[in-house]
């Protein structure tokens, strides 16, 4: 997976994101979410629990969440499964953030990616520990 952004290489396959708020503030997917990122299909199953992103708190003020919610869900799923490396998962976040009708602007996508690279290791390690238990 290269790191050159190409908006045309990412598109939503399954339709709009539908979630239900949980008591802890996280969201549960009400239906499956599928995206195609550079000809690789990534599916987030129904009932998956997400917090929408792993961007550290200090980077959240610069990224408009409504523009990157799908990117956050896909990213959370990739961290949870470990099917991609952390670097690849973060790149998928950036590419997905740049895609779609309500996409983030270039600054938000790159700054979000930058903060994921700096602080995402905390969420990545937490996910690795959860995977090791199962």
Q: Is residue 113 part of a domain?
A: yes
Quick check: pTM over 0.95?
Answer: no
Helix (H, G, I), strand (E, B) or coil at 99: coil
Is 133 part of any domain?
A: no
Residue 5 lies in a domain: no
What are the two backbone dihedrals, phi and then psi, of residue 6, each rounded to the nearest 5 degrees? -140, 100
Residue 107 domain-assigned?
A: yes
Which pair of tokens denotes residue 118? 């700096």
> Domain range spanning residue 104?
10-127
Q: What is the pLDDT of residues 43-95, one digit of tens each?
A: 999 999 998 876 777 777 888 878 899 999 999 999 999 999 999 999 999 99
d(CA 56, CA 47): 24
* Residue 76 in domain: yes
Q: Lowest-confidence range among 18-22, 58-62, 96-100?
A: 58-62
Q: Does some domain include residue 24?
A: yes
Q: Is 99 exposed, middle or buried (0-12, 13-18, 19+ CB in 10 A)?
A: buried
Asked if residue 2 is part of any domain, the answer here is: no
Residue 114 lies in a domain: yes
| Domain total in the chain | 1
How remote is the C-alpha of 15 from its chain's centroid?
16
């Amino acid at each position: 997976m290269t790191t050159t952004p190409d908006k045309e290489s990412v598109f939503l396959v399954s339709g709009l994101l539908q979630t239900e708020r949980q008591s802890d503030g996280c969201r549960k997917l009400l239906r499956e979410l599928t995206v195609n990122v550079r000809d690789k299909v990534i599916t987030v199953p129904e009932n998956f629990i997400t917090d929408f992103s792993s961007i550290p708190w200090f980077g959240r003020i610069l990224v408009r969440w409504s523009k990157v919610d799908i990117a956050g869900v896909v990213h959370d799923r990739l961290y949870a499964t470990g099917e991609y490396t952390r670097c690849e998962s973060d790149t998928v976040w950036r590419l997905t953030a740049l895609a779609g009708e309500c996409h983030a602007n270039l600054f938000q996508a790159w700054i979000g990616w930058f903060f994921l690279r700096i602080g995402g290791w905390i969420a990545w390690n937490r996910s690795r520990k959860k995977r090791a238990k199962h």
